[in-house]
A and B are shown apart, each in its own frame.
Chain A
Amino acid sequence: MLAFLLRRIGLLIPTFIGVTIAAFGFIRLLPGDPVLLMAGERGLTPERHAELLKQFGFDRPIYEQYFDYLVGVLQGDLGNSLVTKKPVFEEFFTLFPATLELSICAIIFAIALGLPAGIIAAVKRGSVFDHSVMSTALVGYSMPIFWLGLLFIMLFSGLLGWTPVSGRISLLYFFEPVTGLMTVDAFLSGQPGAVRSALSHLILPTIVLGTIPMAVIARQTRSAMLEVLGEDYVRTAKAKGLPPVRVIGLHALRNALIPVITTIGLQVGVLLAGAILTETIFSWPGIGKWIVDSISRRDYPSVQGGLLMIAVIVMLVNLTVDVLYGLVNPRIRHQR
């Protein structure tokens, strides 16, 4: 198990370097540069432009800039935002709890609905329930997030007026962030109605962000269950006279979960990508919206740092999933 872990961690190093190159390179492929965008409509003389580029160090060869950046990253320094002048690291962690809160709710929503739906669809294969779950999943999976988000806002916020349009909490409430998770902070503040307000802001983004993972989880669970239900050991479990709940919920599900857990892990990457769109639609002040804003401002250090941090999170989640995989699957755990 330790060797397995070390090997997996070793694999992260080349991935990490690849991500730094990608994050560093892609933002520079975009036309325009930070200096021009800072100057805005006033414009600036070519001499002043060259002078500012030199001041930021953007006139040096690109590999030198990359090398400096990499050295900084390895020392834990992601640089300072060109716009706010604050360290990128600090900016990231100020905004990250908002994204974390949204992502956690979305993945819980996706698992809580997707997993049981997939199990029941597999057990009742060919039934009306099966067909409706699978077609719903297909629609959910094919629906572009930004479009679904706008539809939801129109329906639930506009037409029905059930939920707020954007933000994390009503302007009526104010309290200092403690954990950065709005629902928790609202609870800690003790202000009446605050938790309710925070939840009502959270619900639409959660559904919008969780829809694709839910569809993927439901489909994967169904196909994994179908495969497992035909296995000999499921017949053995039935032959023991065990109740169906135990046969399906324990003997079959435990085996079916192995591929499903991998899928859930992969969905975390999808989730963070989806967060960028969802946060933009709902004006959710998280890292997704922050990265989009940073890209349009050509804030190189913020974009690089943000992408790198997201990549690191995805890598860590996948590592966790691999470890979990070993825990649920004894055959992997005992591999030497």
Chain B
Amino acid sequence: MAESLLDIRNLTVEFDTASGPFRAVDSVDFNVAEGDVLAIVGESGSGKSVAMLAVMGLLPKTATVTADLMRFGDHDLAAMTAKERRQVIGRDITMIFQEPMSSLNPCFTVGFQLGEALKTHLGMNRAARRARAIELLEEVGIPEPEPRLSAFPHQLSGGMSQRVMIAMAIACRPKLLVADEPSTALDVTIQAQILDLLLSLQRETGMALVLITHDMGVVAETARRVVVQYAGQQVERQDVGPLFSSPHHPYTAALLAALPERATSDRLPQIPGTVPGIGDQPDGCRFNPRCTFTTDLCRQQVPPRQTSVFGEALCHYPLGKGGTAA
């Protein structure tokens, strides 16, 4: 087993809102080894992005981040000053986002935006930056990289923009790349290309990859380990194989059952209801209003964390355990 790279324990993020504090992320743990591929799955609003933005230190001031441990390599992220943290962010940990078109600054050329991290973190001069930028564009599969350097973002397609974002993210050979729904905003054909690109870059460079997604299909193709997140909590943590063959949390099972490939009838099964938002968090288990196995216990008591045998599921009655309500 490779050495642990990112170790986050008991991370909680709260936002000050007009209707009181809202806990978007509720005591989550992440452990990413060097060269590992971790997928974080969940519906919109489950706090997947917020958790990683907290690690990056990119949340607005209205957010309060607490954690027992936030370690990246030798760095204690929680104890670092903003300035020290900026030495790590953008060099060793980088991030790409859901909307590639709006994530690039419309006022600057591709070459300029690519060169920035190189200049800030590696102190490269203009000629070296240009050469490296061309290399990077080649690496992410952009044809004719040289003329592209002087292109503005509005002259690029969505897929091309995401490739540029990836090139920017890998510019300083990061140890960890966080990809926040990198293919969601793209055409289906382009989605696969972008994921393939991320995976091949991950294999070539040996960097770790955290992939935030709501697409179970993407998870199956890419991840080694999977964290399933629901309403700010991690409800299950498993390796990808066992997760798909024997999910332990009813939510995971329901997500998997909704995959078109697994459909057994004409109509796809669905999970009734929506993710609870601010102010309507249920008591007990947060999934209880939508779960098919709910009992009174689920409505009253917060479920315990099961052992790794049962996917570390946050559930009173994990699937596969004898004596379940099912």
List which B68-114 residues lie within 8 A (CB) of chain A: 83, 85-91, 94-95, 97, 99, 102-108
Complex interface: chain B residues within 8 A of A241 (CB): 85-91, 117, 120-121
Q: Does A236 contact B (CB under 8 A)?
A: yes
Smallest CB gap from A255: residue in B: B107
Complex interface: chain B residues within 8 A of A251 (CB): 105, 108
Complex interface: chain B residues within 8 A of A255 (CB): 105-107
Complex Cα spacing A294 to B103, Å: 57
Contact A330 B105 (CB under 8 A): no
Stretch of A6-14, A227-235, A303-311 at the chain-chain interface:
A227-235
Contact B102 A232 (CB under 8 A): yes
Q: Does A29 contact B (CB under 8 A)?
A: no
Q: Does A74 contact B (CB under 8 A)?
A: no
Smallest CB gap from A329: residue in B: B107
Which one, B90, B108, B116, contacts A254 given CB within 8 A? Answer: B108
Which one, A233, A239, A330, A331, contacts B94 given CB within 8 A? Answer: A239
Q: Does A85 contact B (CB under 8 A)?
A: no
Complex interface: chain A residues within 8 A of B104 (CB): 233, 236
Contact B117 A240 (CB under 8 A): yes
Contact A239 B120 (CB under 8 A): no
Contact B168 A233 (CB under 8 A): no
Q: Does A334 contact B (CB under 8 A)?
A: yes
Q: Does A242 contact B (CB under 8 A)?
A: yes
Q: Does B268 contact A (CB under 8 A)?
A: no
Q: Does A40 contact B (CB under 8 A)?
A: no
Complex Cα spacing A236 to B103, Å: 6
Which one, B90, B103, B117, B121, contacts A233 given CB within 8 A? Answer: B103
Q: Does A328 contact B (CB under 8 A)?
A: yes
Complex interface: chain B residues within 8 A of A328 (CB): 107
Complex Cα spacing A239 to B56, Å: 7
Complex Cα spacing A220 to B104, Å: 24
Contact A331 B106 (CB under 8 A): yes
Q: What's the least CB distance linking A328 to chain B, in Å? A: 7
Contact B95 A239 (CB under 8 A): yes
Instruction: Tell me the count of chain A residues lying within 8 A, CB to CB, of chain B.
Output: 20
Q: Does A237 contact B (CB under 8 A)?
A: yes
Complex Cα spacing A334 to B102, Å: 18
Complex Cα spacing A331 to B165, Å: 19
Q: Does B58 contact A (CB under 8 A)?
A: yes
Q: What's the least CB distance linking A241 to chain B, in Å? A: 3
Q: Does A243 contact B (CB under 8 A)?
A: yes
Complex Cα spacing A232 to B97, Å: 8
List which A228-272 residues lie within 8 A (CB) of chain B: 231-233, 235-243, 251, 254-255
Which one, B88, B97, B102, B116, contacts A242 given CB within 8 A? Answer: B116
Contact B154 A240 (CB under 8 A): no
Q: What's the least CB distance linking B12 to chain A, in Å? A: 21
Q: What's the least CB distance linking A235 to chain B, in Å? A: 6
Point out which of B83, B87, B103, B105 has the most chain A C-beta atoms below 10 A from its C-beta: B105
Q: What's the least CB distance linking A72 to chain B, in Å? A: 46
Complex Cα spacing A237 to B94, Å: 11
Complex interface: chain A residues within 8 A of B116 (CB): 237, 240, 242
Contact B120 A236 (CB under 8 A): no
Q: What's the least CB distance linking A1 to chain B, in Å? A: 14
Contact A239 B107 (CB under 8 A): no
Q: What's the least CB distance linking A245 to chain B, in Å? A: 12
Point out which of A232, A239, A254, A331 has the most chain B C-beta atoms below 10 A from its C-beta: A239
Contact A233 B86 (CB under 8 A): no
Contact B152 A334 (CB under 8 A): yes
Known: A232-B97, A241-B121. A334 touches B106 (CB 8 A): no
Complex interface: chain A residues within 8 A of B89 (CB): 238-241
Smallest CB gap from B107: residue in A: A254
Q: Does B155 contact A (CB under 8 A)?
A: yes
Complex interface: chain A residues within 8 A of B121 (CB): 241
Complex interface: chain A residues within 8 A of B106 (CB): 233, 255, 329-331
Complex Cα spacing A232 to B104, Å: 8
Which one, B86, B91, B99, contacts A232 given CB within 8 A? Answer: B99
Contact A240 B105 (CB under 8 A): no
Contact B168 A240 (CB under 8 A): yes
Contact B165 A236 (CB under 8 A): yes
Contact A235 B58 (CB under 8 A): yes
Smallest CB gap from B165: residue in A: A236
Complex interface: chain A residues within 8 A of B152 (CB): 330-331, 334
Contact A240 B90 (CB under 8 A): yes
Smallest CB gap from A328: residue in B: B107
Smallest CB gap from A333: residue in B: B152
Q: What 6 pairs between A and B have smallest CB-CB spacing?
A: A241-B90, A240-B90, A233-B105, A241-B86, A241-B89, A232-B102
A-B pairs with beta carbons under 8 Å apart, 11 shown:
A232-B103, A237-B105, A239-B56, A239-B90, A240-B116, A240-B168, A241-B86, A241-B121, A243-B120, A254-B107, A334-B155
**Apart from A233-B103, A242-B116, A254-B107: 19 A-B pairs, beta carbons within 8 A:** A232-B99, A232-B103, A235-B58, A236-B97, A238-B58, A238-B89, A239-B56, A239-B58, A239-B95, A240-B94, A240-B116, A240-B120, A241-B87, A242-B86, A329-B106, A330-B106, A330-B152, A330-B154, A331-B154
